[in-house]
Amino acid sequence: MLTLLKLLKDGRFHSGQALGVALGISRSAVWKQLQHLEADLGLSVHKVRGRGYQLAKRLLLLDAAEICAKGLHECPIHIFDSIDSTNAEALRFIERGGAAPFLVLAERQIAGRGRRGRKWVSPFAENLYHSLVLRIDGGMRQIEGLSLVVGLAVMHVLRDMGIAGAGLKWPNDVLVGEKKIAGILLELVGDPADVCHVVLGVGINVNMQATDEVDQQWTSMCLEAGRDFDRNELVALLSVKLQQYLELHHASGFAAIQSEWEQYHLWQGRAVSLIAGVNKIDGIVLGIDHQGALRLKVDGVEKNFSGGELSLRLRDDS
């Protein structure tokens, strides 16, 4: 099925006979495979008598050689057509002794994960599902505020590619206005005080235009700019930007990035509710501290909050 997809990805018409010859199967078998493409991958195929078959939309698939040619070097890239999640596969690579750094990408995730166990909608060949694995050798400072550092890098790449309204929401989201365009999920393996690995999971809505599976406001690069984007270029630019910010973070700690992050935080000064399980804390966003914790003014008193299970929401009266 994926071989057939690669024959069709140019967006041109191909006759059933030509596809059958290329695949070594009958025209009826080609027809069955096309039905699987539509059902399994959610792709639309035009069928025109006398002309053949054509994908409704040209596909530009992820390609390691293209990514390296556009700027990513000295980092092994593992690309999967379909996988449960890139973070899960990255963790399996670590368990098997894979040497970091390395990058895991996928055309589709069948069990994509966001923060707090939420599903991350992952249609085939439309968005970016990206997990970069780094080795951390001692020093908790290298972990402090790391997800915010990644978010800042993602936001700058989106802005550089024409998404001018991209901004940050504490702790791990990139928004355009009130709509989510990207999210970050970091996972740690090992002892942060000694030697550990960190998986920097990034999901970006790139060319997705419609879905009924997302339970919150969302947007994509395509919807914002009115055009499709080359995901290989996006990976390459993101890799360069991540390296810049990770080097700064390693050399100077999160404190060196704190003020820049606050500059792009869309909810600075807003009235919010911080959700922790069944508990809710209302306050005004003051910013973040030098470790990346959220600073809230609660009943006139400044309080700091951090933790992976916290969720921030705008208050109704804000």
Q: How many CB atoms lie within 10 A of CB 22?
A: 14
3-state secondary structure of 132: strand
Residue 115 labeled ligand binder: yes
Beta strands 102-106 and 294-298 are unpaired
- The token pair at 246 is 């990770």
- The token pair at 197 is 């690995």
Active-site annotation holds for 115: yes
- Burial call 142-171: b when 16+ CB within 10 Å, e when fewer: bbbbbbbbbbbbbbbbbeebebeebbbbbb
Which residue among 115, 169, 231, 241 is the active-site one?
115
**Is the peptide bond preceding residue 123 cis, with omega within 30 degrees of 0?**
no
Which residue among 108, 169, 180, 241 is the active-site one?
180
Residue 87 labeled ligand binder: yes
Residue 117 labeled ligand binder: no
Residue 141 labeled ligand binder: no
3-state secondary structure of 115: helix
Active-site annotation holds for 47: no
Dump strand ranges (E) for 20-94. 45-48, 52-55, 77-80
User: What are the distances in angstroms from CA 111 to CA 114, 116, 118?
Assistant: 10, 14, 10
Residue 114 labeled ligand binder: yes
Contacts of 155 (CB under 8 A, 6+ apart): 166, 167, 168, 174, 182, 264
Which residue among 116, 280, 313, 315 is the active-site one?
313
Active-site annotation holds for 313: yes
Measure the CA–CA gap between 186 and 189, rounded to whole angstroms. Answer: 10
Known binding-site residues for biotin equal: 85-87, 109, 113-115, 180
Known binding-site residues equal: 85-87, 109, 113-115, 180
Catalytic site positions: 115, 180, 313
